């Protein structure tokens, strides 16, 4: 049976009944809410907590993170993007989270040889590819079940730079229409860089019965109160799309080229 994890979009955590993943303040990016070390330590007293560290790191970040890790001994898992952290964290506590990168079983099996058994899969995979990976690996696989898909992350402050160049006053969060696909995208600039998200909510719920061997993540970041409430009521249901507008393009349309292949 699937195990569920939730990334909250508020600090009112009681509504999130599954295992929670908390974005670490100053060391994660792309989320609605961030949690400092003190908050995480307090929450760990009553709940199972994992944290996510997905910011592009600099050398001076590592010394700070060493201190942080000493204060977070009770954290269940660390979702990490930067491979420089693998020598600082017990490997059984590492969940490798490299957006767009891990998309085939050869990569997963290679990481297993290196001692990393927990992997977050790319969201650009079809259900057939997901099942093929599951058949050919013995690793613990994590998958975003419901999410505003992260399409791009840049260390640069793109909106601020555009405003400076053009003399405009765009806000740090904006939507644009991509010219080719005509899709609406969310551009969100933070202190650590800029991300672009699909404005539509991705959901793989229609095949949830085929994902029983996966650990499923629900990321509530950038969702409204109504969307959050609806998903909390129906996140285990195959018919979620009858209650809230979702899209699942990648679930059924194979991408010809993927990073990491």
pLDDT 10s digits, 23-62: 999 999 999 999 999 999 999 999 999 999 999 888 888 8
The predicted pLDDT at position 255 comes to 82
> Which pair of structure tokens corresponds to residue 67?
């201190």
Q: What is the DSSP letter of 242?
A: G
Q: Are 148 and 219 in contact (CB under 8 A)?
A: yes
Give the bridge partners for 153, in sequence order. Answer: 195
Cα–Cα distance, 131 to 129 (Å, whole number): 5
Q: Map out the domains of the chain with their CATH numbers.
A: 3-148+200-252 (3.20.20.70), 151-196 (no CATH)
The predicted pLDDT at position 260 comes to 55
Between 258 and 228, residue with greater pLDDT: 228
Element (H, E) at 61: helix 59-70
pLDDT at 192 over 60: yes
Q: Are 194 and 154 in contact (CB under 8 A)?
A: yes
Instruction: Pick the closest to residue 207 from 255, 243, 250 (CA basis).
Output: 250
Phi, psi of 137 (to 5 degrees): -135, 160
How confident is the model over 234-256, as pLDDT tens digits?
999 999 999 999 999 999 988 87
Cα–Cα distance, 217 to 235 (Å, whole number): 10
pLDDT at 258 over 70: no
Burial class (CB in 10 A: 0-12, 13-18, 19+), 261: exposed
């Amino acid at each position: 049976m699937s195990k569920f994890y939730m990334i909250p979009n508020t600090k009112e955590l009681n509504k999130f009944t599954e295992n929670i993943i908390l974005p670490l303040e100053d060391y994660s990016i792309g989320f609605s809410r961030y949690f400092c070390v003190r908050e995480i330590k307090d929450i760990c007293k009553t709940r199972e907590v994992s944290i996510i560290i997905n910011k592009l790191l600099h050398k001076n970040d590592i010394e700070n993170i060493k201190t942080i890790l000493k204060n977070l001994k009770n954290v269940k898992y660390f979702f990490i993007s930067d491979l420089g952290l693998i020598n600082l964290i017990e490997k059984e506590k590492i969940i490798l989270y490299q957006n767009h990168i891990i998309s085939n079983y050869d990569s997963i099996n290679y990481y297993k040889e290196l001692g990393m058994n927990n992997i977050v899969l790319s969201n650009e995979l079809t259900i057939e590819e997901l099942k093929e990976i599951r058949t050919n690996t013995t690793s613990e696989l994590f998958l975003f079940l419901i999410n505003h898909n992260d399409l791009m992350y840049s260390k640069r402050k793109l909106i601020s730079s555009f405003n400076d160049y053009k003399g405009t006053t765009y806000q740090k969060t904006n939507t644009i229409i991509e010219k080719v696909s005509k899709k609406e995208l969310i551009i969100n600039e933070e202190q650590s860089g800029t991300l672009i998200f699909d404005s539509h909510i991705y959901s793989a719920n229609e095949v949830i019965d085929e994902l029983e061997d996966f650990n499923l993540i629900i990321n509530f970041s950038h969702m409204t109160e109504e969307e959050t409430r609806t998903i909390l009521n129906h996140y285990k249901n195959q018919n979620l799309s009858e209650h809230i507008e979702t899209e699942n393009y990648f679930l059924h349309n194979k991408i010809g080229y993927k990073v990491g292949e």
